[in-house]
Amino acid sequence: MADTIDIAALLAATKVLVVDDEHYMRKVVRALLMSVGIRTVYEAPNGPAGLDMIRNNQPDVVIVDWQMPGLDGAGFVRMVRSPDTFPYPDIPIIMLTGHGERSRVVEAIQIGVNEFLLKPVSSKALYNRLVTVLTKPRRIVKSGDYYGPVPRNLALMNEDNDRAMAQLVLVN
């Protein structure tokens, strides 16, 4: 029971930013987040506003839609995962999208997304991904052009092998 109380307290203290161009979808995600215990939810209607919200509010987790006009979710993630130009490149990012094609999932991994969720999303799936990024954070690595979490199946390997193995996973 202590784990549940700890996770509940962790979620209650977590600040989440939802970046989605659809007002209705932001409200749905907000309601789901509140239902799993998140108390602080920021919303941004587009990528540039989301980048500003990260700079100004320093959320603990970002949930971003893939398909948005202007700066889409992939472009948003690339900008965040730029340690030379963005102040919080290590923030956990969950991609929430209606596009589940294998190519999108692979691209999301290659650009540094921590987790990938398909719409419509359940509160249980969202809860599980939040708990994972908050309680089992993967090391952030730089390998060539890649900057992001160590791929999940490599997270248990030692640091000396991370770069070489991450590069193999990312090019395949």
pLDDT digits 0-9 by tens, 6-63: 999 999 999 999 999 999 999 999 999 999 999 999 999 999 999 999 999 999 999 9
Question: What CA–CA distance (Å, rounded) separates 150 from 3?
Answer: 26
Residues 130 and 144 in one domain: no
Question: What CA–CA distance (Å, rounded) separates 155 from 124?
Answer: 24
Max CA-CA distance within the chain? 46
Residues 110 and 46 in one domain: yes
Residues 99 and 145 in one domain: no
Residues 120 and 152 in one domain: no
Residues 128 and 144 in one domain: no
Range picked from 5-14, 21-30, 99-108, 136-145 for highest mean pLDDT: 21-30
Backbone CA torsion sign across 16, 19, 23, 24: negative
Residues 113 and 153 in one domain: no
Residues 106 and 163 in one domain: no
Q: How many CB atoms lie within 10 A of CB 92?
A: 22
25-30 long-range Cβ contacts below 8 angstroms, 24+ apart = 25/65, 25/119, 29/63, 29/96, 29/121, 29/126
CB 128 within 8 A of CB 39: no
pLDDT of 71 above 50: yes
- Say which CATH number the domain at 88 has: 3.40.50.2300
Residues 70 and 108 in one domain: yes
Q: What is the pLDDT of residue 58?
A: 98
Residues 98 and 165 in one domain: no
Pairing state between β 140-143 and 146-149: antiparallel
pLDDT of 129 above 80: yes
Q: What is the pLDDT of residue 163?
A: 46
Domain residue limits at 112: 2-137
Question: What CA–CA distance (Å, rounded) separates 170 from 121?
Answer: 27
Residues 74 and 157 in one domain: no
